[in-house]
């Protein structure tokens, strides 16, 4: 199945170097868009906020528990919603941070087999097929992993989803579409 490619990340916490790396990977791999699952934290620095405001490809964001409206207002950035539904080549992607909504049902959304539920918040990568047939992705934190997790991100394409270590590009988890 031929699909566009997406880069999916979360929990940057104002890290400008990690954001630059994500942008570089997205452009190098031909991504159509970047999906950010919250805790961007643009108030961390003007450098980070400026980079966040001028992505090289479309950037779709939701807010996390560390994203205050004042951080976005201060840099004239639109304050992201708590969750978003993104249509991707016939698949539904439900994007949320994962602190307030831990399941699709909590947002009033019903996912079908082959759809994708994306969360962040835990800083720990997760990639599983749920019993209902949809996939659950947490790309981990792009700035600071938790426990034994390195900073990471995910790429989704027509074959499936793979989570990679940010610094090395080493794949750490992969799953095909159901």
Domains of the chain (ranges, CATH numbers): 5-176 (3.60.21.10)
**pLDDT for res 2:** 53
Contact 22, 168 (CB under 8 A): no
User: Rg of the Cα trace of the chain?
Assistant: 15
CA distances from 64 to 112, 122, 147, 152, 170 (A): 25, 11, 20, 17, 27
pTM for the predicted model, two decimal places: 0.96
Q: Is residue 1's pLDDT more than 50?
A: no
In this structure, the number of other CB atoms found within 10 A of the CB of residue 153 comes to: 26
Instruction: Give the model confidence (pLDDT) of 56-104 as tens digits.
Output: 999 999 999 999 999 999 888 999 999 999 999 999 999 999 999 999 9
Q: Comparing 33-37, 42-46, 103-107, 165-169, which segment has the lowest mean pLDDT? A: 42-46
């Amino acid at each position: 199945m031929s699909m566009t490619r997406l880069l999916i990340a979360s929990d940057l916490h104002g890290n400008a170097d990690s954001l630059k790396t994500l942008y570089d990977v997205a452009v190098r791999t031909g991504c159509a868009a970047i999906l950010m699952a919250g805790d961007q934290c643009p108030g961390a620095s003007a450098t980070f906020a400026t980079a966040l405001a001028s992505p090289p490809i479309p950037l779709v964001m939701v807010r996390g528990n560390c994203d205050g409206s004042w951080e976005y207002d201060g840099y004239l950035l639109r304050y992201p919603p708590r969750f978003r539904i993104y249509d991707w080549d016939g698949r539904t992607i439900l994007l949320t941070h994962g602190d307030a909504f831990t399941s699709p049902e909590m947002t009033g959304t019903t996912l079908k087999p082959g759809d994708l539920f994306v969360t962040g918040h835990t800083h720990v990568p997760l990639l599983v097929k749920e019993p209902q047939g949809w996939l659950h992705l947490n790309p981990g934190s792009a700035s600071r992993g938790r426990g034994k997790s390195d900073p990471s991100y995910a790429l989704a394409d027509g074959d499936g989803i793979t989570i990679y270590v940010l610094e090395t590009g080493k794949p750490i988890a992969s799953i095909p579409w159901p």
